[in-house]
Each structure stands twice: as C-alpha cells, then as structure tokens.
Amino acid sequence: MAEASAPQPGPQQPVFNLRLALGLLGILLAAMTAGLNSRVPGLALADIRGQLGLSYDQGTWLSTLYAAGELIAMPFASWFGITFSLRRFHLSMLLSMMALAVVMPFVGNFYLLAGLRLLQGLFAGALIPLLMGAALRFLPLSIRLHGLALYAMTATLSPNVAVWLAAQLAEDPVSLNWLYWQVIPLGLLAAALVYYGIPASPPALPRLKQGNWLGMALGVPGLGLLAIGIGQGVRLEWLHSPLICLLLGLGGVLTLLFLISEWRHPAPFIRLQMLSRRNLGLGFTVFFFLLVAMSAGVSVPVSVLSQLQGFRLEQMTALGLIIGLPQLFMGSVVALLLYRRWMDARYLFTLGLGLMALGCFLASRITSEWMVDQFFWSQVLQAIGQPIAVVCLLFLGTSVVQPMEGPFVAGIVNTIRALGTLLGGAFVGQLTADRSRFHSDMLLNHAGMWLSHNPAPPAIDNLAQVISTQAAVLASADIFLVFMTLLLVLIPPVLCLQYVPAPRIPAPPAAQAG
C-alpha cells in the first residue's frame, strides 16, 4: 500500500509564538465574520425585503450577487496576499468589508444596494482562502491539524450559528440594521489581532509582472456569470430562461478558458497540476459533493418547518445551535484522533460520512406533525459527522502539500467550496420544487379517484391544504433520502484515497536526551 508521508515544513518559516498565534486567531475571526456576513442577511432576507419594500425576486438578487462576489475572489486572494503581503492585503479586505457594512442599512436604492452587496462579497470572499494559506504556512507540524480544524469551523460553525444570530437581529426594525453591522465588532477585534500578530513583510511587487492577467480577465466574469446563473436558475427555471442560458453558457466558456490559461501559465493563481495528486484531485471531488450534502444539516429543516408549521427564525434557533456549538471543540477532538499512530484518516472519514447519512435517514421519517424537537437526533449526528468528515478530508489533502504550496491549495479548495455551496442550494431548491410537484400531482390523482367512487367527506374544503402539506412532507423526506444516498456513495472514493500516516512530531530535545 502506498503511503504519503507528511511533508516537512519549508525553510525560513517564522517562529511560532503567542504573538503569531494571536495573529492567526485574528485571521480565523475574520473568516468567521465573512461566513456570518454571507449567511445572516440571507436567512433574514424576508425582513430585509419588508424594511426596504423589495419584491421576492429583488431579494434573491442580493443573495446571488454576494455569492458571486465570494466565488470571484476565491482563486485569486492567496496570490494577492503574497504579492501585497498577507497583513496588508488581509486588513484592506477586512476593513473594506466592514466599511460597506456601515453604509448598507442607509441605502434605499435597490441597484446601489445590489452593487454594494456584490463588492462586499468580493472583499469577504478573499478572507477565507487566506486563513487556510496562513495555517499551512505558520503552524508547526505539532499543531497544524488543530489549525485545519479551526478552518473547518468556517464551514461547520458559522453557517449553523448564523440561524441563531439572524433570529436575534431580526426582531425589530432597529435591530435590522445589525443584520449588516454584526460584522463590525468581531471584525474590529480581528483587525487588531492581525495587525499585532501577523509579521510585517514587504510587498513582492515584481510578481505583478508575472501574473496571469489574461486568465484573470477571463476568470472574473466567467465565475461571476456562473454564480449568478446557478443562483437564479431555480427561480427562472434554468434552460427555459434565455438569461440563464446566456449566463451559464458564457460563464462556462469563460471559466473553461480561464482554467486552460491557468494550466499553461508559468505563474498561475491556482496550480491545477496539483490535482493530479490523488488526495487532492479525488479528495476535492469528494469535498465538492460533501458540501452539497451538508446543506441537509440546517437549511433543509429550517425550510421545512417554515413551510409546514409557519415557524419564524426565532422558533428554530435550536436547529442551528445543536450543530454549531459542538464545533467549538469537535474539530480539535478529531485532530487529536488523527495524531494517533493507529488511526487511519480514511476510516475515520468514512465514519463521519456514515453518521451524516444516518442523520439524513432519521430526518427522512418526517411527518406533518414534526417540530424542532423531532429533528434533535438527526442534528446531533450531523454535529458529530460534519467535523469528522471535513477535518479528515483537509488532513488527507494537505498532507501531500508543502507549506509554500498552501496558497495554491487554498485557492483551489475554497473555489470548490464556494461552488459546492452554491450548487447545493440550487440542488435543494430544484429538488424541492420537482418532488413537491410530483407528490402533489400523485395525491390529487389518488384523491380524485377516491372521490369518484365515494361521497365527499365534510372536510373536502381543506383538501387542497392537506395535499399541499403532505406533498411538502414527502418532498422533504425525498431530499433527505437523496442526501443519505449521496453520502453513502462517497464512501468508496474516500477509501480509495492515499493512506497518510499520523504526523511524526519530533520529541523535545530534553526528552531525546533522556
């Protein structure tokens, strides 16, 4: 069996100390802030629309354009972080994101607000890749897995805690401003920590002459058009809409040309050749579908209870907290397991997928009488399975990467992450619409056949409402079963990943002497 040995740290790495640890904490907080800035306004979109007098269609554009900005920034952020220095570039992106948050509650024009939201997504999207690159660059081998566990929290903690935060901020018109301002307190703390802790380094401006500017000119509009096409596809019925055809067609061609340009360029923004390594190419493919499946954790139950029971966010905060709060320690628990010599990350990864699949199976037993409490055990299984799967994946992928290759990996994995999250939302939306329509037609046909042979019952006036409710229940059950199947299908590819032994941590000199 082939083994991939954990790479040794590259030369000239800064000495890891408390000051650098605080700087990395600042980068983590900034990435968490970016995640909340994406999720919180989206969850409270109905309240924002009501405050600004926007239609449903206009509201969807605010979320779509923010996601497009995030996706555009992902492949390029790490390169610019090196070129202009990590501390300088990170602070400029973080402060720009917060500056836009300050003015957004006072913008009454929809088109201006949409443009600002696109820019804010661009600034926020640059913060997350910088976290992974910094973790791979600065953290010593003895704690690097814990750093990757912290990065995993941006995918497992922020999106889930956002449900609780959005509920708290959407209670009245005054607090609605804080749907945007909530990034400022945590962002200011993050900025102070980054300024203090991250080493100051001179910009590498000669790199500007080497950049793949043609590729960037293709990639920026290509990724943006793709994101908008995916985000609006369900609402506009995909290829039935000429606009979606144009967005996906042109965006796909430009993105393909961008990838070809990156492959051929001597100094690319993302080094696609690295995907030939099994744990990166196959591993990141698994990661893409894992992100799609992770949408079953909170977004589907929230949507189901909102539709079936008419619940508002404040009545469903437990759904997010059950998954979100354990992430504060679950990632480190997984990291500790991966440091054990007897642990095979592939089998632990499989356990995580199995727990998530079991959680989806339990949720698929939903009925029209389910409340928040009935989702408890399925949420608990998601809370355990998600960090196991994500941290194991990051370990298996980054263990075949040298520290100075971190920026390339960060760009690739975060682009996949943004695209997977977008497609996950679109997949859930389309599957919900299709299965609801299917079950509604089937129930109507059965009801019509029964009524043709039997007298109408007294409750016939409520038949339409009953059919609508039961169709939604059956569609939700189908979604959970589809995600369960997807998670189980991912297990064989995970077992095909290259085995990576536990990192060998050098013993302290005193221990060696003894």
Q: What percentage of the chain exceeds 70 in pLDDT?
A: 93
Q: Side-chain half-sphere of 159: how many Cα atoms within 13 Å?
A: 19
Cα 90 to Cα 84: distance, rounded to the nearest angstrom: 9
pLDDT single digits (tens) 241-256: 999 999 999 999 999 9
Measured CA to CA, the distance from residue 298 to residue 421 in angstroms comes to 13
Q: How far is CA 87 from the centre of its chain?
A: 24
351 pLDDT band, cuts 50/70/90, is very high
CA distance 357 to 341: 27
128-179: per-residue pLDDT in tens? 999 988 888 888 888 888 888 888 888 888 888 888 888 888 776 666 788 8
Q: Is the distance from CB of 62 to CB of 48 less than 8 angstroms?
A: yes
User: In this predicted model, what pLDDT tens digit does every residue of 289-339 receive, in sequence order?
Assistant: 999 898 767 888 888 888 888 888 888 888 888 988 898 899 899 999 998
Q: Is the pTM of this model over 0.85?
A: yes
* Cα–Cα distance for residue pair 185/258, rounded to 1 Å: 37
**Please, what CATH class does the domain formed by 16-211 belong to?**
mainly alpha
pLDDT attached to residue 9:
43
pLDDT above 90 (res 496): yes
Q: Which residue has the tokens 């941006």?
A: 154
Cβ partners under 8 Å of residue 357, min gap 6:
483, 484, 487, 488
Asked if residue 251 lies in contact with residue 229, where contact means CB atoms within 8 angstroms, the answer is: yes
Which helix or strand (DSSP H or E) is residue 125 part of?
helix 110-125
Mean per-residue pLDDT over the chain, rounded: 88
Owner of token pair 């100390």: 17
Which residue has tokens 């082939």?
2
- Residue whose tokens read 């032994």: 501
**CA–CA dist 36, 161 (Å, integer):** 8
Lowest mean pLDDT among 37-41, 383-387, 449-453: 449-453
Question: In angstroms, rounded to a whole number, what is the distance separating the alpha carbons of residues 153 and 151?
Answer: 5
Residue 121 CA to residue 38 CA, distance in Å, equals 8
Q: Name the 3-class secondary structure at 13.
A: coil
Is there a contact between 136 and 14 (Cβ–Cβ < 8 Å)? Answer: no
Reported as a pLDDT band with limits 50, 70 and 90, residue 463 is confident
Domain boundaries, the chain: 16-211, 273-451+460-503
Least confident of 6-20, 99-113, 467-481: 6-20
User: Which one, of 35, 60, 482, 160, lies nearest residue 292 by Cα?
Assistant: 482
Whether domain 273-451+460-503 has CATH 3.40.50.2000: the reply is no
Side-chain half-sphere CA neighbours of 381 within 13 A: 17
Write down the pLDDT at residue 2: 45
Those residues whose C-beta lies under 8 Å from the C-beta of residue 288, and which sit 6 or more positions away, are 416, 419, 420
Q: Which residues contact 276 (CB under 8 A, 6 or more apart)?
A: none
212: left (phi over 0), alpha (psi -120 to 50) or beta: beta
Dihedral sign, Cα of residue 146, residue 6, residue 15, residue 26: negative
Common-topology check for domains 16-211 and 273-451+460-503: yes
The mean pLDDT value for 469-492 works out to 94
If phi over 0 gives left and psi between -120 and 50 gives alpha, with beta otherwise, what is residue 481?
Answer: alpha
> Could you tell me the two tokens for 58?
């206009």
